[in-house]
Amino acid sequence: MKKQTNINAVLAMVVSYLEDGIDRLELELDFPYELEKWYRRMVAENRQMAEMIYDRIIEDGINRGDHLSDAQMKDLIRRQYDDVIDIADGGFC
């Protein structure tokens, strides 16, 4: 199995947000930039996982959070992150 260094780095940023290492503004501004910067390398590691992170964390998470409180946003991102991990652990990526 290939190492997923870039994928793990991007997911570590989400974990940092969930554990209060970075705040919401940093996640909303920096995460999409970092994902875009590392996306090619992530695709080389695992295309399905890279696409799922984009879909779940960016599209279904960050981009839908404008109207949410900080607590609601954190809950949403936690659900999306857990979904990504569950799917990956289930062998679908």
Instruction: Kindly list the domain boundaries of the chain, sorted by start residue.
Output: 5-89
CA distance 8 to 12: 6
What pLDDT, on a 0 to 100 scale, did the predictor assign at position 1?
Answer: 46
Contacts of 41 (CB under 8 A, 6+ apart): 6
> How many CB atoms neighbour CB 1 within 10 A?
4
What pLDDT, on a 0 to 100 scale, did the predictor assign at position 3?
Answer: 74
What pLDDT, on a 0 to 100 scale, did the predictor assign at position 4?
Answer: 84
CB 23 within 8 A of CB 93: no
Model confidence, pTM: 0.90
Q: Which amino acid, 55?
A: D
Tens of pLDDT, residue by residue, the chain (93 residues)? 457 899 999 999 999 999 999 999 999 999 999 999 999 999 999 999 999 999 999 999 999 999 999 999 999 999 999 999 999 887 765
Q: With residue 5 as reference, give the H or E element that holds it.
A: helix 5-18
CA distance 79 to 47: 21
What pLDDT, on a 0 to 100 scale, did the predictor assign at position 93?
Answer: 58
